[in-house]
Structures are given as C-alpha cells and as structure tokens.
C-alpha cells in the first residue's frame, strides 16, 4: 500500500476515559476532509479492546490489503458480529 488512508475506528460505548462521542466526532471530521473512514462501537466495552474489535481489525486489514476496503464514509464497519 502506497498510502494508508482507510482508518478503522473502534470504540466502546462504556468507555470512561475517552467519551464514546469522540468516535463519531472523529469519523465525521475525517470524512469532512475526504478521508474514507469505517467505525465500530462495541456495546458494553470500556477503555480497551474486545474479541469483536480484534476480529474486525483483522478483517479490515485483510480487506484493505486486498483492495476490498470500502472507500466511503463515515459508516459502520460490519454491523454483524464477525466471530
């Protein structure tokens, strides 16, 4: 990849360190400057990562390397559980 411009933002809706609203603010700000962004909000997750986030991250990387990552945004990335 010449340039990685396909961020995947992962966040927990129970995060008490970084407010969950920061995910949507970041996604909208990136989209506003033309950066396609995907995101996922994990229910009940605090400040950390869960198995769903790890699976989404792996799938996102595989898709990006293969040229399958969506180039539009902001939008949720995989609404179903990828496990």
Compute φ and ψ for 7, nearest 5 degrees.
-65, 145
pLDDT at residue 71, as a whole number: 61
pLDDT at residue 37, as a whole number: 84
Q: Is the pTM of this model over 0.85?
A: no
Angle at 8 between CA 12 and CA 59, to 5 degrees: 100
pLDDT tens sequence for the chain (83 residues): 345 567 889 999 999 999 999 999 999 998 888 888 889 999 999 999 999 999 999 988 888 788 776 665 555 655 454 44
């Amino acid at each position: 990849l010449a340039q990685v411009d396909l961020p995947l933002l992962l966040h927990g809706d129970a995060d008490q360190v970084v407010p969950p609203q920061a995910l949507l603010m970041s996604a909208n700000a990136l989209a506003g400057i033309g950066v396609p962004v995907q995101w996922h909000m994990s229910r009940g997750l605090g400040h950390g990562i869960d198995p769903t986030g790890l699976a989404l991250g792996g799938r996102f990387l595989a898709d990006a390397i293969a040229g399958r990552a969506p180039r539009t945004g902001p939008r949720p990335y995989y609404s179903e559980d990828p496990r």
